[in-house]
Amino acid sequence: MNPHIAPVPLDKAFRLINHGPTILVSARHGGVDNVMAASWACALDYAPPKLTVVLDKIASTRELVEQSGGFVIQVPTVAQLDLTYQVGHRSLAEQPDKLARSGVELFNIDGHEQPFVAGCSAWLACRVMPEPHNQDRYDLFIGEIVGAWADTRVFSHGHWNFETADPSWRSLHYIAGGRFYAIGEAKNAHPATSA
């Protein structure tokens, strides 16, 4: 594993997606790996940490998630702009070599069955908390976060360092039609005073 990748304490895992980045969902079952892009993923709870992700019924990745009961949410970077867009628009059913065509390289982490996408800034290994009504009616999946990691070149000691890391590490925030925004400047709020 890349020596820059370090575990993130589970009580800080929400910080990896709290700023609303577009994410990649990866899953594996029966020897098949797939990766898709999704904008509709969101933290749900701190402890135990949970998140939601919307997986359309036509997505091949959804089948792997349902079959294996697990998935990884990872945060792609500006350097992975085209990769992110392409895995979101190619179908494994139509292009069996989708991952290679899109430039995706996978790696494994000991103790976890799911595939992880190399080059991302952060990874959240998740176990599906079965909620058949949500999955059927809303395509909404709830995952318990069972492992978290980040690349220390952009996230360390519980904090994102977008403002000091190379700009190619910034997270992507999708709108529509191939248009993303990178995350921008840090802003520190002034707390409410009791006066």
Instruction: Tell the smallest beta-carbon distance from residue 133 to a second copy (Å).
Output: 7
How many CB atoms neighbour CB 190 within 10 A? Answer: 5
- Name which of residues 52 to 81 contact a second copy (CB under 8 A): 52, 54, 78, 81
Q: Which residue from 5, 8, 13, 22 is in contact with a second copy, where contact means CB under 8 A? A: 22
Cα 40–Cα 10–Cα 49 angle in degrees, nearest 5: 45
Classify the phi-psi angles of 71: left when phi > 0, otherwise alpha if psi is within -120 to 50, otherwise beta: beta
Least Å from the CB of residue 153 to a second copy = 17
In angstroms, what is the minimal distance from the CB of 173 to a second copy? 4
**Is there binding between residue 166 and a second copy (CB under 8 A)?**
no
What tokens were used for 24? 């990649």
Q: Which is nearer to a second copy, 30 or 189 (CB)?
A: 189
Q: Of these, 3, 97, 111, 179, which contacts a second copy (CB under 8 A)?
A: 179
Could you tell me if 126 and 141 are in contact, meaning their C-beta atoms sit under 8 angstroms apart?
no
Q: Which of 13, 15, 65, 165 binds a second copy (CB under 8 A)?
A: 15
Write down the residue that tokens 């933290």 correspond to: 43
Q: Is 185 in the site for a second copy (CB under 8 A)?
A: yes
Q: Give SS3 for 23.
A: strand
91 CB-near residues (< 8 Å, 6+ apart): 60, 98
| Residue whose tokens read 């978290």 | 148
Residue 99 near residue 37 (C-beta atoms within 8 A): no
Q: Is 107 in the site for a second copy (CB under 8 A)?
A: no
> Residues 116-155: x/- map of binding to a second copy (CB under 8 A)?
-----------------xx---xxx-x-------------
- Name the token pair of 2: 């890349």
The residue ranges that bind a second copy (CB under 8 A) are 12, 15, 18-22, 39-45, 50, 52, 54, 78, 81-82, 84-86, 89-90, 101-102, 133-134, 138-140, 142, 158-160, 162, 170, 172-176, 178-192
